[in-house]
Amino acid sequence: MTTYTPPPEPGRTASRRNRPVPLVIGILLALMGLPLLLGGLGLGWAVATQRDDDGFFSTPTEQLSTQTVALSSEVVNLGKAGPNDWWADHHPATVRLSARSEGARAVFIGIAPSADVARYLGSASYDEISDLRSDPFEYSLTRRGIGGDLSTPPTDRRFWTAQASGPGTQALTWDVKPGTYTAVVMNLDGSPGVDVDLSAGGRLGWLTPLAWSRGLLGGALILGSALLVVYGARPPGPRVPGQASPGQPPEGARPDTPVTLVGAQDPQLNRGLWLVKWFLAIPHFVVLARLWLVFAVLTVVVFFAILVTGRYPRGLFDLNVGILRWTWRVQFYATAATGTDRYPPFTLDHTDYPADLDITYPERLSRGLVLVKSWLLALPHLIVVGVLVGTWQFGDAHGIQFAVGGLIGALTLAAGLLLLFTGRYPASLFDLLVGLNRWVYRVTAYIALMTGTYPPFRLDQGPAEPHGVAATPSTPDAPSTTGFESPVEERHPRREVKA
């Protein structure tokens, strides 16, 4: 006997072997490569623009003063010298201290082992600088020593590791080595009353190679990630055009935008449940936080895929559409419409939930527009979206404050208060909220490179898209329908025929 399997039904495609391993590895490589690439670019920018002509990163010049004989730093411990301190002979860092006396006195700057400095200054009084802050510039002084004057000026001592002295501006440079050190600023003659303008700087010779290595490694990981993701997410062969499922409109009646968002309001909503929906939805928020990290990384990968191939990998497209769909269901339940009391499912797929979202897959996308569509072309829409979902803060800066998530958040709060005190959720307000969310998701899909169709400047209110699929709300006796559900798959028995 030979087993015979019927061919796939019209409108369905034969299954193919998935390649999840390259897809998962590609996503992991992107998660590792993106921080490396951004870190390399940031270091390169700092090396190219923030150093002076001598290669030092410097602090602003600030005035410090004391009535004692010296200003000293805290003890800096750079480790003990030993046979394994390979960096001691390679000079990985150089310190520069610059000082200029406010009066006519000459200034002395020195760095020496902490024990020698403590013995030399201990016979007098000096101030140790601590808790140094740059913005705003603040510092604390701790009095050290037993009082009195110094027996000799600092230049007569031979324990200084590095020193500079004289009138005007003096600069000391020192290659960092293992040991315990203290920096000191004094008058050249060792007299009390030090008043100087001081700045510090550092030079790290390994920053440039580090920036290049991080950037190149991150770029290589991103490129490898893109290749693996494109390979693992390649779409199946050409789809067989299918007839419209029962309850769905024909092709000509589909929405005129690639983004289809629907939401059906429950006929009976609990008056007070909306007050705790945000708490009930915390598990969803935790999952969505991680999914949106994946969404952002995949969008970067897709950017390069479109730039090279002009196509959005189908597997990644379906995943990102699922993340948007999940987000809309949670927002519809808890934060942006509160249109249903039915708890959202934990799934990326279409369900019978009263809120749903779908985006038409673009067969081809412009390689050139991908460079400007997300920020330049979308700028007018981004201003509108900022008004709709940007945070609005109210209240006194020193009193009670509260914030809402833009116009959508304010209207959702108003709908909740009306429901709490009157038991009614005006249909016109619900239609407006769904329309505003529809605008946001159309723009989101466009800037996320998921469509090449520019979002219309049009507020389509109501639970359904114009000329689109109408959703029906959930009832105790029947689940909701959004028109996106796949029809129940008929199981055909395996027929046996004689060979």
pLDDT (tens digit per residue) in 157-173 = 888 988 998 888 888 88
Peptide bond into 362 cis (omega under 30): no
Listed ranges 139-143, 149-153, 436-440; the one with the highest mean pLDDT: 436-440
Phi–psi pair at 221, nearest 5 degrees: -65, -40
* Tokens standing for residue 256: 């005129």
CATH 2.60.120.380 residue ranges for the chain:
57-208
Q: 23 falls in which pLDDT band (50, 70, 90)?
A: low
Q: 342 falls in which pLDDT band (50, 70, 90)?
A: very high
Angle at 287 between CA 370 and CA 278, to 5 degrees: 110
Average pLDDT over the chain, rounded to whole? 80
Q: 395 falls in which pLDDT band (50, 70, 90)?
A: low
Integer Cα distance of 104 and 61 in angstroms: 19
Between 254 and 21, the more confident residue is 21
DSSP 363-410: S---TTGGGTIIIIITHHHHHHHHHHHSEEEEE-TTS-EEEEEHHHHH
Note the pLDDT of residue 316: 93
Note the pLDDT of residue 491: 36
DSSP code for 233: T
pLDDT at residue 30 above 90? no
* Tokens standing for residue 344: 């959202």
Integer Cα distance of 431 and 365 in angstroms: 32
Q: 490 falls in which pLDDT band (50, 70, 90)?
A: very low
How far are the Cα atoms of 102, 264, 326, 334, 465 from residue 462, in angstroms, in the given order?
73, 9, 20, 18, 7
H or E element: which one contains 93? strand 93-101
Q: Measured in whole angstroms, how far is the alpha carbon of residue 263 from the centre of its chain?
A: 30
* Tokens standing for residue 383: 């201003």
Q: 18 falls in which pLDDT band (50, 70, 90)?
A: very low
Between 2 and 191, the more confident residue is 191
pLDDT at residue 403 above 70? no
Q: Any residues with CB less than 8 A from the CB of 22 and at least 6 apart, and which? A: 228, 229, 231, 232
Between 133 and 116, the more confident residue is 116
* Per-residue burial over 427-445, b = 16 or more CB atoms within 10 Å of its CB, e = otherwise: eebbbbbbbbbbbbbbbbb
Spatial contact of 316 and 234, defined as CB atoms under 8 Å apart: no
Phi–psi pair at 14, nearest 5 degrees: -65, 145
Residues 120-139 have a mean pLDDT of 78
Q: 282 falls in which pLDDT band (50, 70, 90)?
A: very high
Residues 136-141 have a mean pLDDT of 74
- Supply the pTM of this predicted model: 0.52
Residues 332-341 have a mean pLDDT of 94
pLDDT digits (tens, 9 = 90+) for 415-462: 999 999 999 999 999 999 999 999 999 999 999 999 999 898 889 999
In three-state secondary structure terms, 36 is: helix
Q: Which of 338, 358, 339, 340 is nearest to 348 (CA)?
A: 358
Q: What is the CATH number of domain 57-208?
A: 2.60.120.380
pLDDT at residue 84 above 50? yes
End-to-end CA distance of the chain: 6
3-state secondary structure the chain: CEEECCCCCCCCCCCCCCCHHHHHHHHHHHHHHHHHHHHHHHHHHHHHHCCCCCCCEECCCEEEEECCCEEECCCEECCCCCCCCHHHHCCCEEEEEEEEECCCCCEEEEEEEHHHHHHHHCCCEEEEEEEEEECCEEEEEEEEECCCCCCCCHHHCCCCCEEEEECCEEEEEEECCCCEEEEEEEECCCCCCEEEEEEEEEEECCHHHHHHHHHHHHHHHHHHHHHHHHHHCCCCCCCCCCCCCCCCCCHHHCCCCCEEEEECCCCCCCCCHHHCHHHHCHHHHHHHHHHHHHHHHHHHHHHHHHHHHCCCCHHHHHHHHHHHHHHHHHHHHHHCCCCCCCCCCCCCCCCCCCEEEEECCCCCCCCCHHHCHHHHHCHHHHHHHHHHHCEEEEECCCCCEEEEEHHHHHHHHHHHHHHHHHCCCCHHHHHHHHHHHHHHHHHHHHHCCCCCCCCCCCCCCCCCCCCCCCCECCCCCCCCECCCCCCCCCCCCCEEECC
* Tokens standing for residue 202: 């550092």
Residues 272-285 have a mean pLDDT of 94
Q: Which of 72, 167, 51, 48 is nearest to 125 (CA)?
A: 72
Share of residues in the chain with pLDDT > 70 (%) = 77
Residues 459-470 have a mean pLDDT of 78
Note the pLDDT of residue 344: 96
